[in-house]
Structure 1
Amino acid sequence: MMTRHIAIYCRVSSKGQDTASQKPDLHRWVDAFAPDDEVTWYEDQFSGRTMDRPAWSRLRSNVDAGKINQVVVWRLDRLGRTARGLTALLDELPRRGVGLISIKDGLDLQTPAGRLMANVLASVAQYETEIRGERVRAGQEIARRDGKTWGGSKPGRLLQLTNDQVETIRDLDARGKTKSAIARACGVSRPTVYRILKSSQSASQEQGI
C-alpha cells in the first residue's frame, strides 16, 4: 500500500525574499499535530499570480498520484492569489481525499465552515491583487498628468512596481507572450516591460547564466 505524506508548502514572490517568517509556525504545527507522520516540504520563490510554479507543480503531481493526504500552508494566499486558481483547487482537493490546513487563517478544508471560509479568502486574495494593480496604474496616471515620464530613470530602477509584477512580467515573457500583452496584463507601459526584461538579461549575463 502506498504511503501518503503531508505536504508543507511555502511560497514567497521573489528571490529577494525568503520563507523564514513562515517556517516557525509550520514547524510548530508539525510538532503538535504530525510528529510521527511523513512530511515533505515544498518551497517556491515565484509570483502567486500563476499556479504554474516548480515546487507547486511537483506537489500537484503528487496529489494526482495519490501520494499526499494533506496540504499545510502558513496562509491561504501562499497557495496563490487568483480566485479562479484557488477556487478550482479548493473544489479538487476534497474530491481527491486531500485535506488543507491554513494555519494563520484557522482554516480546515475538511469542515463545512472551513470550505466556506476558504472560498471567501480566495476572493479576498484576488481583490487585494486587483486593488494593488489599480493603485499602480492610478499612480502612473497622476505622474503622467504632472508631466513625469518613465524613460529617464536610472538603469535598473523599477519605479512603482511590486515584486509580483516584476515576476509576472518575466514569467509571461518566458511563455512567449507579446510585450503589449504583458504590459496590459501587468498594468504598465511597454517601455517598462522592455526595461525590466533588459535588466534581467543583463543580470543573467553578469552572473554567467
Structure 2
Amino acid sequence: MIKLGYARVSTQEQNLDLQLDALKKEGCKQVFTDKVSGVKATKPNFEKLMEYARPGDTIVIWKLDRLGRSTIKLIELIEELKNKGVNLKSLSESIDTSTATGNLFFQFMCVLAEHERNIIRERTKAGLESARARGRSGGRPEGLSERYRKIAPEVKEIYEKNNRSTDEIREMFKIKSQPTLYKILKYAGVDIKGFLKKRV
C-alpha cells in the first residue's frame, strides 16, 4: 500500500512545482503529471496512474479540480477507484476516502451529482419543449455530418437566390444526394414545404 501522486496544469506555460512540492511532502512514492485542460476527456498520464494503482493504494492530489471540472465525472471517478479498492486523498480540501469522514463526503458528493444530473435533464427537456412550441424538433437532423452543418448557411444563401437548380447546388457543394440537400436546408432553417416544390 503506497501513496501515488497526481498533478495537473491546464497549459504548457503553467508550473507544476506547487503541486509537486505538496505531493512530495505527503510522502508520495511516485508522481504522475499531465499538462492538459481539465475539460479534456483524455489525460494520458492519469490513465497510466489508474492502471498502475493497486488495491490499498492511495492516489493523492493537491486539489479536487485537478481531476476535472464536472461533479458528475468526479463522482464517477471516485466510484471507479472505490471499486478498485483504491483511496483518494485531496490535500487542499482535507478529504480522504479511506476514512469515515471521507466516505461521508463521498456520499454527499453523490447527492450533488444526482442533483446536477436532474438539472441537466430538466434544462434539456425545457429546451426541447420550447423548440417544439416554435415548430422545430430537437437535435440535428439524423445523419448530417459536421461538414454539411458548416456549409448549411452558404447552401441556404445560394438556394434562396433562386437562380440555380438543386442539382447545380449539389454539384457546387459536393452534396451526395437530394435527401441530404433536404436535410441541410432544413438544418439551415429553410421552409421545407417550399423546398419540396422541386425546381428545375
TM-score, length-scaled by structure 1: 0.47
TM-score normalised over the length of structure 2: 0.49
Higher relative contact order (CA 8 A, sep 6+): 1
